Amino acid sequence: MTFSKSSPSGRRVQLHRALSKLGWGSRTQAWEWIRAGEVCVDGQPVTDPLTWVDLDRQRITRADEVAPVVVLTTLALHKPRGVVTTRRDERGRPNVYDLLPPGLPWVFPAGRLDAESEGLLIFTNDADLSVRLTEPEHHTPKTYHATLTGDLTPEALEQLRGGVDLADGRTRPAQVRELRPGMKPCRLEIILTEGRNRQIRRMAVAVGCRVRRLVRVAVGRYELGDLPVGACRFLGKEDLLMLLNGCSAPDRAKATGEADG
């Protein structure tokens, strides 16, 4: 039996993404399993993670375990400060998975917040949704409230808006406004359309300030609102539309099941 290695027509995905969509693990884990020869398609071992498969017509197994039927699940968490986004931490710090409700299917964070940051964190088992929320080409806006120490001059404020030179390149222009003009400490609302590691903290240092507190308050137009710290909320169809605001219209339609075909 041979398997296609070129992009086919119809509703098919590459094998490593298929395993992720079916809720077995991350795409990185899936890649390793496939390379190790642990995955079969229609009873035949497949070792190329980029092989195209049909989720509706082909039988995918790993170590004789049939791929589960998974209900797509997306939820919002109000991440507390001091909690890490990774499942395992060598320093033994609490992690976000301890805060998720029991009985969930396998889900993963669509994007991260560093340990000292707080606010809205989206969990899902929908790999396509995660890509739309995290990949830079989709320009999904994320809104943060940042409390800064230091003297934020008008020139520094314009730098934050226009782009800051960091070690990994110049940042995209950002929407930045003062929440309490003229008051100390300075509080800013910052809207980014990219997600680099500790980006706002590094931007602040680049203009002579430091972040004292950082809270993500929205992804797209979906807001953290009054969700208590440490609590979760399941997202419905209308929530997904709010979440994806800022993506292209085809992205929003596909993610909410409204795409043609």
The catalytic residue positions are 114
Asked whether 255 and 132 are in contact (CB, 8 A), the reply is yes
Q: Is residue 215 helix, strand or coil?
A: strand
Asked whether 80 and 117 are in contact (CB, 8 A), the reply is no
What is the DSSP annotation of 72-140?
--EEEEEEPTT-BSSS--TT---BGGGGSPTTPPP-EESS---TT-EEEEEEES-HHHHHHHHSGGG--
Q: Is residue 18 helix, strand or coil?
A: helix
Structure tokens at 177: 């406004």
Residues 6+ apart with CB under 8 A from 31: 16, 49
Q: Is residue 19 helix, strand or coil?
A: helix
Query: Residue 9 half-sphere exposure, CB side, CA atoms within 13 Å?
Result: 1
CA angle 230, 20, 69 (to 5 degrees): 90
Structure tokens at 216: 């993500």
